[in-house]
Structure 1
């Protein structure tokens, strides 16, 4: 990331610099401001020190010292312009539909930075497919004596996420959920296990999820299945060793 400082001594120079930078860069301004909102309602803020963030997609975020949510904001595709009023900077953000305006008047500017910040996609860790891939790459996480039969194994009741087999012929059915598991998840696992038991196999059932409801856990224990806390696996990748230490029994 490359940022550059903008001199704050001359309003017309600031305006020119910000106008040329707003479509390609993120602009950070810290200063003493008043804010006026005109739209479906109306509001005014008192003079106070704030952080103003302008993004090249037209987003405007105004933050104070606390809270995650901005003190005031405008969404992407808003039109942002700068002007000088009595040699002091004004930022005007206009949202077209519905029509809304936010006027930010700077009484004093502490600093301005123009930054070239990337736009990327977030890779989510902990999706069901991520957990399946992790186990596929290291079956010993489930059982050191097991080998992979396959993933997405079709049955009359749906597809089994992971099916393993021990050297003694015992099947291990693994059901993965990236949410809090309820009774339906346990019933689904139970159907898979009973399907293979009906074919004469000895079968173990394991449910992996972020959490589990009390009702679901009661059924899980009654059926003799095991529960693995997904968050424990994802957040402790280097020292997790065998999954047995995360099993709730």
Structure 2
């Protein structure tokens, strides 16, 4: 992982356009190719980012840019779309690289682990004719909670959370990017399943073609028969 603290401006062009004016920010370049732009506020969420697969080039500024104080230009291009992130760096305060090694992945709490087990046992909850391939399907960046096949036999990656938030959608997106490179699996669609899905997460998921499913924990356990309730 590379960490750069720099005075910079940032422009995003593609499906949408966005501009961050000149300020001091943290630039994170991860081993998976993703680039994130952080400020000193806003909790965990970056101000802007580019998810993999993408490529980054560090370029010398053009003459007009140099006259404005730019010392380096980062151009990050997504491999599957026209989306592009451009960072104009005016001053580098800190630049370091760190080898983090292979991450063991998130250790799920009891509820998430139980939800995964229950949904695997009742995979038909996601649709008639669905079948389970396996739980904890391993990818190069960690295990997908469930790999299943829908009624047509197509592969589906299912990510399960107790609370469905944006970071869970991003996690599933990374899995899908990798899995769709495997000709034995592709095309792979995604299902984001949780007991509660936040509106922002649902909007992002649906924009990326990911289906959202709200799980009824009691119904999966057989404690509450949702079909027999009057309301």
Give TM-score, length-normalised by structure 2: 0.45
> Whose Rg is larger?
1
